[in-house]
Amino acid sequence: MTLAFAAVVLAGGSARRLGGVDKLGLAVGGRSMLDRTLDAVAEADPLVVVGPRRATAAEVVWAREDPPGGGPLAGLSAGLHVLPERVELVAVLAGDQPHLTSATVERLLGAIGSADGAVLTDADGMPQWLLGVWRVPALRAAMPAQVRNLSARAVFKELGPVLVPALGAEASDVDTPEDLHRARTRTRS
């Protein structure tokens, strides 16, 4: 049985290392990176996307960080603001995770146990702070009053999440043209 959860997908970055294109609109395996990320949390209720509005295949609730471009913690704050009080668990994901799947999210939900969070680690064992499932009350309590350009890692690390090793490329993200090439190559193989 799947635990009930919401999702906040962060989709507000400027993609400077990709020349400023809307990287979440770039296709990997025939679908935009944003839609691929949304596919992984299709069971979320609600499904919140924080960033500028764009076309998506899923029905989502839109939110915007204040100020726009204020960083992941500002995006998370905006996403938490629109979640109903009834929500206990939330998947917090960057929108540029082309190999994330619903099975990844299921593993994170299954790992959280009584902890405040569960976060995916990459092949080197490094936590991927924007690939996790968190208890909403703990996140709300941990959020600083001023969130602009603050490190999400500082807030998430203090919550002592369970670390869940990534399988294959599921922790990969796309920040550079080389990352995009690798993502597209992995999807074809």
User: pLDDT tens digit string along 51-65?
Assistant: 989 889 899 999 998
User: What is the token pair recorded at 117?
Assistant: 């969070």
pLDDT value, residue 14: 53
Give residues with Cβ within 8 angstroms of 61, minimum separation 6: 46, 47, 48, 49, 82
The tens digit of pLDDT for each residue in 15-49 reads 555 556 677 777 878 888 899 999 999 999 999 99
pLDDT, tens only, 108-125: 999 999 999 999 999 899
Q: Locate the domains of the chain by residue range.
A: 6-188
Backbone angles phi, psi at 96, to 5 degrees: -110, 45
Considering the four listed CATH numbers 3.90.550.10, 3.30.365.10, 3.40.50.150, 3.40.50.620, the one that applies to the domain covering 6-188 is 3.90.550.10
Closest CA to 102 of 177, 180, 3: 3
Given a contact cutoff of 8 angstroms between Cβ atoms, the answer to whether 189 and 182 are in contact is no
